[in-house]
Structure 1
Amino acid sequence: MKEFPKDLITQSEAARLRGVSPEAIADLIRRGRLDTYEVAGRLHVRRSDIQKFKAQPGGRPPKTEKK
């Protein structure tokens, strides 16, 4: 029997945790930014991986004034 990490969650749960749509999570998976685990025919991600993404600030840094 295959061993899986204990902190696996569904894509929907990951989306709720991160405050984004399930499609945004699917996009991260497609781009290879999130590792997936197939359990009972469904893809799951690690909660710890989602929390790492959540902790990172998004977007561009603010512009600095030119002198």
Structure 2
Amino acid sequence: MTSWQVVRLLAGTFILLSLALGVPGSPLFVNTWWLAFTAFVGANLLQSGLTKWCLLENILRKLGIQPGC
């Protein structure tokens, strides 16, 4: 997997997990404040789309994950 694929995989996982923990109708509901984490991940995706820079992708590259196209 390339770094951009790992970033998107982690972002999707974090969004789904935080929704499961933050939506009152979910069987995994803990607290509605988990929805703030969903907003944080979404804001980071928006920022990376506008600036073409992602901190997590840089970290992954330093860990040896190959850069994407």
TM-score (norm 2): 0.26
* Rg larger for: 1
Structure having the higher strand fraction is 1
Structure having the higher helix fraction is 2
TM-score (norm 1): 0.27
